[in-house]
Amino acid sequence: MTAYISLMIAIPLIGAILAFLTKTRQQARAVALVSSGISLLISIIMLSRFDSSLAGIQLDEIHSWIPSLGITLSFGVDGIGMPLVLLSCIVIPLTVIFAWGETKEPNKFYGLILLELVGVLGVFTSLDFFVFYIFWEIVLIPMYFLISIWGGPRKDYAAIKFFIYTHIASLVMLLAIFALYFNAWQITRTPDFNMFHLLKNYSLLDGWLITNVISIKDAIFIGLLFGFIVKMPAVPFHTWLPDAHVEAPTAGSVILAALLLKMGGYGLFRVILPLLPFSDSPGKMITLMAIIGVLSILYGTFLALAQRDLKKMVAYSSISHMGYVTLGAAALVPLSVSGAMFQQFSHGLITCVLFMSCGVIQHSAGTRIIGDLGGIAKYMPKLTFVMLAGFLASLGLPGMSGFIAELLVLLNSYANLPTFVILALFGIVFTAGYHLWAMQRAVFGTFNEKLGHIHDGANYEIASMAVLVLLIIFFGLYPNPVLNMMTTTATPLVRDAAGLVGVIV
Amino acid sequence: MFSEPDSIFPALIVLLPVLAFVLTLFLGKKLPHGGAYLPIAAIAGSFIISLGVFLEIYPDKIVQQSWPWFANMNIGILIDPLAVVMLMMVTFVSLLIHIYAVGYMSHDPAKPRYFAETALFTAAMLGVVLSDNILQFFISWELVGVCSFLLIGFWYHKPSAAAAAKKAFLVTRVGDVLFLAGIVLLYVNINEIIASGRFSVASDNYLLQFSTMFEAAKLIDPTQLTYITLLFFGGAIGKSGQFPLHGWLPDAMEGPTTVSALIHAATMVTAGVYLVARTFPMFVATPATLGELYPSFFPAHVPDALLIVAYIGGFTALFAATMGLVMNDIKRVLAYSTVSQLGYMMLALGTAGAVLGAKAVGISLFHLISHAFFKALLFLCAGSVIHAVGTNDIREMGGLFKKMKITGTTMMIAALSLAGIGIPFLNIGTAGFFSKDMIIEGSFEYGEKTGDMIPYAFAVIAALLTSIYIFRLWFMAFTGKPRSERHAHESPNVMTRPLMILAILALFFGFTQVGFYGYLEKNFELMGVEMAGHEGEAPEIPVIIILLPVIVGVLGFLISYAIYYKRWLDMSKIISSSNPLYKLLLNRYYEPKIGADIIGVKLTHDVVAQSGEFVDRKIIDGLVIDNIIGKTTFSLGEAARKLQTGVVQNYASVTLLGVGLLLIVLKLVGGI
């Protein structure tokens, strides 16, 4: 048994406590950088120990906790979790560097960022459903405070909306988890919160939640699905996201978009796909997921086109990109599923650059309204360079990671979901459209003299964005270090579903 | 040395300019001329390697290298006759234009960025040419597009440049999506024939290699094959500025003239033609259903895909030439000329492909290469003129020949080549004479065999217009009285030397014709692809048909001579806004209005996006969330608080609402 994961989670937790106790911002940010840096180091060691040719859980550890209820502290990673662990450990230190100049209550600020790392790492590694849920909820709290303390003018509205919305989803999910747990307990006669056991026992369940209206199986499935897609978020459960982003501080937006949304997608792969073949009406569920996926892609795209606030536009672009995750998962082909997983990883990197760009512009120009900007490239050449790279990555330029993900989803989903893929293809032109249109109006063209004196991003800001751009290009040219393990894990994941699912629409 | 299976040289053709891009980007500021020597040296290296490969593989060898990449994709190099002639052309033209740019861009403070981007462009274009599979082709194709975007918007502080860059990217993106859809459809179909056991590949890694595709094309359902090829052609329409996606190319002239010469005349825009040529066996293999279904409209026995390529190409050749007649911006005249000439290349693939099979690739490519020489030359001459007089408007030029003898002479050579002037039967003439003549004859042969003379008519009328507009340009710029105060002077040697070299090629490249056709014709045979033979007797071509291209070329010259040099005809009556035809042409058939204003802004943004925003804010968020769920929650919460049972019930009630909502959705999709 190894202890990488518990160490990786424990260190930022200790770091967070230390950061809260520090007196100066220099100490606070140093603690944040060092502890998240150690987590990054551990995640890289884990990656080097990880065998991409094995589909099962690796680097696992188990500690007993509440035996009477069958709850254990068990952790481990496979091709679903490992890349997201890596992503989290990359994003958090870079966010700390990006936010190096934070002056408002820095000890709490950096402490909360570290707590976010603790939460997401827990979600991506927990193998016990109960512990998984605890981490799932832990993530909410620091984000609530990040928005409500460091947020913009309507921060209270946004923070409450974020909290209630995602919390309702969590509770629905919790009910489903309990239903699964107690029903399985009745059948197997042993209390057991082990995630894999519970997912396996799902097929044994029987009976109605409401007689002749909804079966227990369907209720559980929908409850879990609801919990995950609100988090992603998928249309029509997405409206909390733009509001949260508009008000959140840049670091909060980065973590929200890069990591918190990924929890939803993680749930699809970890929980929904294993259950899908055993649900009472898999075909209908797949159709539902495909509709949600493609609706998110197109709806997000057109809404992004309508936005006047640059940051809101980026928020809607997230919804659109996360639609590919749902679509690829619904197609149930090994490479479409691994493409969807890769989209999670890739979007996590790309969206950071976009939100950071918005933050730098807001800071320098005092506004993010596209129409009020104009020609800022003249005074912000460094920002323009990294921002353009991020925008090109986001619109799916080959040679960057987003392209590989979306290509794999489109190529491999067509066999099962042809109509949906054709619809998704329509979105591509408009995706390029809103990105370039925004760049043209905000960054290029004649400088808007009303903006007064503006300056380029600080070196630490540009540096963390540049690192992300390099990673986006690296994984765009050579995705194998994470893609191979995704494909290995995806293959048995969809094996059960093969044959159950014919061509839909 | 260059062509062994494990030689690193073929990869270096692309990697050298990539390296130059990185170095120039980061070190260019510290080096003389913005680091221009780095890309020049790198591209010279690529040219030498290309030449070396050519000498080793000529006449009947090919280079193939392949490595696994990600998932079931591979990365690889294929240098066959088609690729090697493109390699030599691209590296050579790019090299000359880079040298010229040292002079042309000498006053621009952003030189390092310029040279970095053109180096990256060259690398991407070479990537397109070298690809051994359609995915890598697509990736390089997209990178070429983004370099074009960056370079059109090079002077990004000009709003018109920023707008043109965006337009170019988005319009070609429409084509790119079609291309991508074609790849998706191909991938699915190949997987299907593999799954059904009718087809197998050595390893999954090579699913999208060209050789695999050509093998599979024989087994794929013919209707699907037509869709696939037409979707590919959709990509080609975007990249090569064919109707109806042609509008971005004239606007792309907002970039530096050297960019126009390199990207929007000689190389990138030919990528669409290259795509059709590259996948030509698939186009030839499509079924001839249009002729069967609509015998009164379409000729029989012409593969559907080729028929459409021929018609789009022929129509574009004519359509663009009409606009070339009235433009006053020197670069826009040349841009429409490029669109028109690309139409000829497509026309050749379509018509000659239908009756001559594999020969069509040679005919089209020969025009592509000769066009690259004379059109790059025309643009560089235009650049030299613009450099001298400081305007793009030919109405403000005039009388320049006395001051700019080298530019004037080389531009006349290029114009003669574009107009296809030469002496038939003696086989003496400019490059354009040989290459265009063959296309027109090919479309005549197509007409003879199929009874469909329309493409031929397109080609001949377009040839007349071509000659008129190009000599109009020359006479207005170089003869008559100077209409500008500015003191014009000849450009420095670093700019005029490349002009002379290109002029020599525009004059004499035509003499390689016979060898070129013979070499290119074997292209697909060398890859082991059998193409349906179209042997049969070549029809006797009447003397008048052979003479006609030159006759219309000379006629066009005389018309322009009469109007713009001798001024025998007063044009002021024709050129007036009350002439509806002139207005239509000057407004480019209202394409910018329809494309950008109506489709782009009004329909997409104002109608679709804004109504989406309304739904999101007012209905989903306003009505459902804030009012119904929000208010219910808070009133329930209020009640719960009074009952002092905490927030659990609050959550439970909201939870029920959430689940209820989902149930409704499910009910609607028939889930339960």
Could you give the CA distance from residue B366 to residue A137 in angstroms, rounded to a whole number? 67
Q: Do A168 and B612 touch (CB under 8 A)?
A: no
Which residues 230-289 in chain A show a CB within 8 A of chain B?
236, 239, 281, 284-285, 287-288
pLDDT, position B537: 63
Q: Do A397 and B72 touch (CB under 8 A)?
A: no
Q: Scanning the structure block, which residue is given the tokens 């993010």? A: A368
Q: Please name the amino acid found at residue B125.
A: M
Out of A303, A439, A447, closest to residue B613 by CB: A303
Nearest alpha-carbon partner for A348 in A295, A393, A415, A309: A393
Residue A188: exposed, middle, or buried by beta-carbon count in 10 A (0-12, 13-18, 19+)? middle
Identify from A175, A388, A412, A436 which residue to disrupt to test chain B contact, counting B C-beta atoms within 10 A and taking the largest count.
A436
Q: Do B658 and A169 touch (CB under 8 A)?
A: yes
Q: Nearest-CA distance from B141 to chain A in Å?
A: 9
- Using CB atoms within 10 A of its CB, is residue B480 exposed (0-12), middle (13-18) or buried (19+)? middle
Picking from B191, B170, B212, B250, the residue whose alpha carbon sits closest to that of residue B74 is: B212
CA separation for the pair A332, B664 (Å, rounded):
25
**pLDDT band (50, 70, 90) for residue B637:** low
CB contact under 8 A, B146 and A446: no
Q: B126 with B91: CB under 8 angstroms?
A: yes
pLDDT at B671: 39
Integer Cα distance of A393 and A399 in angstroms? 8
The whole-angstrom separation of Cα A390 and Cα A156 is 30
Output the pLDDT for position B660: 58
Measured distance CA(B559)–CA(B481) in Å, rounded: 20
Q: Which residues pair with B79 in a beta bridge?
A: B63
Cis peptide before A236 (omega within 30 of 0): yes
More reliable by pLDDT, B671 or B295: B295
pLDDT, tens digit only, all 505 positions of chain A: 788 999 999 999 999 999 999 988 899 999 999 999 999 999 999 999 999 998 889 998 999 888 888 889 999 999 999 999 999 999 999 999 999 988 888 889 999 999 999 999 999 999 999 999 999 988 988 998 899 889 888 888 888 888 888 888 888 898 888 888 888 888 888 888 999 888 888 888 887 777 777 888 888 999 999 999 998 888 888 888 888 898 999 999 999 999 999 999 999 999 999 998 888 888 888 899 999 999 999 999 988 888 889 999 999 999 999 999 999 999 989 999 999 999 999 999 999 999 999 999 999 888 888 888 888 888 999 999 999 999 999 999 999 999 999 999 999 999 888 999 999 998 888 898 889 888 888 888 888 888 888 888 889 999 999 999 999 999 999 999 999 999 999 988 888 776 555 545 4
| A335/A324 Cα distance (integer angstroms) | 13
Is the CB of B166 less than 8 angstroms away from the CB of A478? no
| Mutation for A interface: B73, B204, B616, most A CBs within 10 A | B616
Cα–Cα distance measured from residue B427 to residue A68, given in angstroms and rounded to the nearest whole number: 97
Please give, rounded to a whole number of angstroms, the shortest distance from the CA of A355 to a CA of chain B.
Answer: 21
Query: Among A443-452, B247-256, B525-534, B549-558, whose mean pLDDT is lowest?
Result: B525-534
Mutate to test the interface with B, among A279, A407, A489 (most CBs of B within 10 A): A407
Residue in A307, A382, A411 to test binding to B, most B beta-carbons within 10 Å: A411
Q: CA of B138: how far to CAs of A48, A398, B91, in Å?
A: 33, 8, 20
Return d(Cα B289, Cα B295) in angstroms, integer: 10
pLDDT tens per residue across span B395-423:
888 788 888 888 989 999 999 999 988 88
* Cis peptide bond prior to B17, omega within 30° of 0: no
- Can you say whether the dihedral through the CA atoms of A491, A497, A503, A505 is positive or negative? negative
Segment B234-275, tens digit of pLDDT: 999 999 999 888 888 888 888 898 898 888 888 889 999 999
Q: Tokens 């508009």 map to which residue?
A: A246
DSSP class of residue A202?
G
Question: What is the Cα–Cα distance from B385 to B404, expressed in whole angstroms?
Answer: 8
Nearest to A440 among B135, B162, B669 (CB): B162
Contact predicate B377/B506, CB 8 Å: yes
Residue B225 neighbours by CB under 8 Å, 6+ apart: B189, B217, B282, B285, B286, B287
High-pLDDT (> 90) share of chain B, %: 35
Q: How much is the average pLDDT of B217-231?
A: 92
Beta bridge partners of B65: B77
Closest residue to A172, CB basis, from B173, B184, B658:
B658
Q: Name, in order, each residue with C-beta under 8 angstroms of B329's C-beta and a sequence gap of 6 or more.
A: B253, B392, B393, B394
* C-alpha distances out from residue A198 to A71, A219, A227, B148, B223, Å: 12, 15, 17, 54, 48
Show me where the domains of chain A are located: 298-505
Partner-chain residue, chosen from B163, B612, B620, that has the shortest CB–CB distance to A440:
B163
Interface test with A, best of B184, B618, B634 (most A CBs within 10 A): B184
What sign does the dihedral B147-B148-B151-B152 (CA atoms) show? negative
- Using CB atoms and an 8 Å cut-off, which of residues 346-375 of chain A contact chain B? 375
C-alpha distances (whole Å) from B290 to each of B158, B351, B354 are 47, 15, 14
- Mean pLDDT in residue range B275-284: 92
- The first and second tokens of residue B350, run together, are 């379509």
pLDDT at position B558 is 86
Contact B170 A399 (CB under 8 A): no
Q: What is the tens place of the pLDDT at every residue in B364-395?
A: 999 999 999 999 999 999 988 888 888 888 88
Q: Give the C-alpha separation, A314 to A325, whole Å.
A: 17
| B487: amino acid identity, one letter | H
Give the number of other Cβ atoms within 10 Å of residue A44's Cβ: 13
Task: Report pLDDT for B649.
Answer: 46
Assigned token pair, B607: 């109608």
| Residue pair B290/B307 in contact by the 8 Å Cβ criterion | yes
CA–CA distance, A437 with B162 (Å, rounded to integer): 9
**Chain B residues within an 8 Å CB radius of A338:** 71
**Are A168 and B162 in contact (CB < 8 Å)?**
no
Stretch B447-461: mean pLDDT, rounded?
A: 89
Strand partners, B329: B393
CA closest to B621 among chain A residues: A239
Give the per-residue pLDDT at A498. 64
Tell me which residue in B71, B166, B180 faces A425 most closely, judged by beta carbons. B180
Q: How far is CA B177 from CA A84, A428, B140, B396, in A?
A: 30, 7, 14, 41
CB atoms B159 and A446 under 8 Å = yes
- Considering only CA atoms, which of A379, A358, A323 is closest in space to residue A439? A358
pLDDT digits (tens, 9 = 90+) for B9-20: 899 999 999 999
Query: Rounded to whole angstroms, what are the CA distances from A399 to A468, B8, B139, B171, B491?
Result: 14, 22, 7, 21, 39
Closest CA to B357 of B302, B403, B308: B302
Give residue-wise pLDDT tens across range B132-172: 999 999 999 999 999 999 999 898 888 888 888 888 888 89
- Which residues in A lie closer than 8 A to residue B142 (C-beta atoms)? 397-399, 403
Residue B555 tokens, joined = 């006629």
Residue reference for tokens 């739904």: B615
pLDDT value at position B670?
Answer: 44
Say whether A299 and B185 touch across the interface (CB within 8 A).
no
Residue A208 pairs in a beta bridge with A215
What is the rounded average pLDDT of the residues B427-456? 88
Residue B334 has pLDDT above 60, yes or no: yes
Mind giving me the DSSP string for A113-176? Answer: HHHHHHHHHHHHHB-BHHHHHHHHHHHHHHHHHHHHHH--TTHHHHHHHHHHHHHHHHHHHHHH
Task: Return d(Cα B649, Cα B640) in angstroms, integer.
Answer: 7
- Least CB–CB distance from A480: residue in B70, B149, B605: B70
Angle (CA) A225 A228 A233, round 5°: 120
Task: Closest CB to B188: pick one of A306, A414, A446.
Answer: A414
Q: How far is B603 from chain A (nearest CA, A)?
A: 12
CB-CB contact of B96 with B383 (8 Å):
no
Lowest mean pLDDT, pick from A279-288, B180-189, B575-584: B575-584
Are the beta carbons of A430 and B139 separated by less than 8 Å? Answer: no
- DSSP one-letter code for A445: S
Q: What pLDDT score does B647 carry?
A: 45
Contacts of A299 in chain B (CB under 8 A): 612, 616
Residue ranges with strand state E in A251-309: none
CB contact (8 A) between residue B191 and residue A415: yes
Residues of A in contact with B184 (CB under 8 A): 410-411, 414, 421, 425
A122 closest CA partner among A8, A272, A226, A34: A8
Which residues in chain A are closer than 8 Å to B610, comparing Cβ atoms?
306
Residues in chain A with CB shorter than 8 Å from the CB of B600 are 433
The rounded distance, in Å, linking the Cα atoms of A392 and A398 is 9
Q: How many Cα atoms sit within 13 Å of B160 on the Cβ side?
A: 6
Please tell me the distance from the alpha carbon of residue B520 to that of residue B394, in angstroms, as a whole number: 40
> How distant is the Cα of B66 from the closest Cα of chain A, in angstroms?
16
Best CA proximity match to B321, nearest among B566, B596, B553: B553
Q: A333 — contact with chain B (CB < 8 Å)?
A: no
Q: What is the pLDDT of residue B530?
A: 74
Q: Give the number of beta-carbon pairs within 8 Å between A and B.
A: 165
Residue type for B3, please? S
CB B98 within 8 A of CB B39: yes
How does DSSP classify residue B35? G
pLDDT above 70: residue B58: yes
Contacting residues of A for B162, CB less than 8 Å apart? 440, 444-445
